Structure 1
Amino acid sequence: MAGTSLSDIMDATQLAKGCLYGNFDNKEEICLESFNFLTQRYAAELKAYLGAYPAGKARLLAYLDFSLQSKFRDENGGCPVINFGAEADDTNPVIRERVRQTIRGMQEMLKQMIADAVDLGEIKSSADPELLALKFYTMLEGAVLISRVENSNTQLEQITKLIQSEIEEISQ
């Protein structure tokens, strides 16, 4: 973001400066709204996908399947959490906070899916939903980043299989 000029944004959007500043106060607001748009779109697609699965282990495994689909990443230039998080870590506290909220929200969603599976007796009660959610989310995000750099889904597929295996190990 710090290295992105208004001219870069105008070129990418094919919009005039007046159009941009007629709708946004500054470049930071453009970046924040871009992040919000991308994450809301992702959340809507994820919610629709997961809605086809019952709560519990089936929904947790469906989340992994959704993570493997590269459609969203390919069509939107990658994972917005990784892209914006890497750019805003030191330079933009507003966007950094918004990325942090998104990460916490995703981890909370995973935690709830795991807790639901525990409540349904599908996963052992000794499982720690909060710790597993943190572990699974960070493994997936790391694999998404590596897959993007390598231009290959191989490591994302391997990490997904590892998580699936762990879910089977803690299943009842």
Structure 2
Amino acid sequence: MGKAERTRQFIIETAAPIFNEKGIAGTTIDDILAATGMAKGGLYGHFESKDEIARVMVDYLLGKLNDKVTAVVNKEKTAVKKIFAFIDVYKDPIDSYINGGCPILNFGVEADDNNPMLKQKLKIQIEEGQKTLTEIINKGIADGEISPKIDAEDYALKAFASLEGGMLVSRVTGSSKYMNSLVRMLKNELKEYQLK
């Protein structure tokens, strides 16, 4: 990686938490300059506009979330443990492994009415998350680990929506107890369908 690429990566890694915490509209160029210690000309030598910076930040944060989910899920051998690992990525919304919490939630609220490109990107992310959960459950059914009585798509939707909603409730109230309850309920529900 050359110097220009290293500098660009430094800007991304430094500014991403700011965008995740303050949102796209709430993050200013001055915030980025203060965090990176760069001059405006240096910043714009790597990015054409704040819009480009925002697009890159969203991609970076969603990629970081995807990498985390993939890593923890792939460590597990059984479908139930894979689903539990997926759920556990979200279990501590106050001290999230990504500063500022879940980027799907944070950017989703902001993009809902005023950023069609970002809204589409997040739509894909949400659909992929549910698809991942559905595929794991279906594999568990095929392997005789999970009862075919479970509706994989319904459970995946419930789990995904509950985790995002739990993130919101916990961050607004400043307490992880709500997420802890949701995590327990989601795991207990899946255990009811576990065959082995």
**Does residue 101 of the first structure (1) align with residue 110 of the second (2)?**
no
Q: Which residue of 1 aligns with 2:165?
A: 142
| Paired residue type of 1:121 | G
Please tell me whether the aligned partners of residues 147 and 194 of structure 2 are also in contact (alpha carbons under 8 angstroms): yes
Which one is further off, 118-127 or 80-89? Answer: 118-127
2:53 counterpart (30, 53, 72): 30
Q: Which residue of 1 aligns with 2:70?
A: 47
Tell me the secondary structure at the aligned position of residue 54 of structure 2.
Answer: helix
**Does residue 160 of the first structure (1) align with residue 196 of the second (2)?**
no
Please tell me whether the aligned partners of residues 111 and 130 of structure 1 are also in contact (alpha carbons under 8 angstroms): yes
What TM-score comes out, normalization by structure 1 length? 0.89
Unaligned stretches of 5+ residues in structure 1? none
Tell me the secondary structure at the aligned position of residue 91 of structure 1.
Answer: coil
2:37 counterpart (8, 14, 25): 14
How many residue pairs end up in the alignment? 172
| Paired residue type of 1:155 | Y
How far does residue 2 in structure 1 lie from its aligned partner after superposition? 3.0
What TM-score comes out, normalization by structure 2 length? 0.79
Please tell me whether the aligned partners of residues 88 and 96 of structure 1 are also in contact (alpha carbons under 8 angstroms): yes
Do the aligned partners of residues 85 and 112 (structure 1) sit closer, same or farther apart at CA in structure 2, a change above 3 Å counting?
same
CA distance in 2, matches of 1:75, 1:138: 19
After superposition, the CA RMSD in angstroms is 1.9
- Once the two structures are aligned, what percentage of the paired residues are identical? 33
Unaligned stretches of 5+ residues in structure 2? 1-23
Please tell me whether the aligned partners of residues 2 and 91 of structure 1 are also in contact (alpha carbons under 8 angstroms): no
Which one is further off, 67-76 or 96-105? Answer: 67-76
Q: Deviations over 1:1-55 (max 9, x none)?
A: 2343322332344332223222222212211111111111122122222222114
Aligned structure 1 segments of 4 or more residues deviating by more than 6 angstroms: none
